[in-house]
Amino acid sequence: MSLNSLLFFLFAVGAIATGIVMITRKNAVTSAVFLIAHFFCLSALYLSLQAQLLALLQILVYAGAIMVLVVFVIMLLNLGAEEKASETLNIRGLLGITVAGVLGVQLLAVFMARPSGHNELPPIATSNGTVEALGRALFTDYIFPFEAISLLLLAAIIGAVLLAKRHLEQVEAPKNISTDDISVQHQLSDKPVH
């Protein structure tokens, strides 16, 4: 087994472990810290697959910007102490244990199998993960889907602005009541109902 394969399996186990720990923690800040560790493990997996740009974007976008947003949301929610829920073994727990057992058997079968040599990266993989190769593929072979997604995002932004503008107009409309309308409403409310 080569060093690249060993590092891949090491970071894959790290990604699985940090993902499991992240979803099992009751404290939201602890979960956020393990999510950051999970993003770093994914970035290392991208590096082991010679995708340098994706590894860099994983750290910059997810571990940087998205996690700052998640931490701000956690701080704004002002989460208090949680009540402990008594949980017994039910059908969901039994199903979870069964699925975990099947996954464990499959992972054991993969690690015990003889290597076939088909998991080695081709020599061209070192140049495929660069910014130049990704940009060339994106703006030559995949230019139509790239532009279609940009138009779709532009339409979504325009729709969001129009919906927000309509909501603001509906909120501001009752504020434009004149004094004549108020006096008519006051006179109507003073009349007895028969």
* Cα distance between residue 36 and residue 69, in whole Å: 12
What would the pLDDT profile of 11-24 be if each residue is shown by its tens digit? 999 999 999 999 99
The residue with tokens 């999970």 is 38
* Fold adopted by 1-77+124-141: Four Helix Bundle (Hemerythrin (Met), subunit A) (1.20.120)
* Cα distance between residue 128 and residue 147, in whole Å: 22
**C-alpha distance from residue 51 to each of 8, 45, 72, 80, 125 (Å):** 13, 9, 30, 41, 8
* Cα distance between residue 22 and residue 37, in whole Å: 9
Q: Give the per-residue pLDDT at 106.
A: 86
Which residues, including other chains, have CB under 8 Å from residue 76's CB and lie 6 or more apart? none
Q: Give the per-residue pLDDT at 184.
A: 52
The residue with tokens 């060993």 is 6
Q: Give the per-residue pLDDT at 45.
A: 92
**C-alpha distance from residue 87 to each of 24, 79, 84, 90, 92 (Å):** 14, 22, 9, 8, 11
Q: Residue ranges per domain, the chain?
A: 1-77+124-141, 143-194
Kindly give the parts of the chain with pLDDT less than 50.
Answer: none
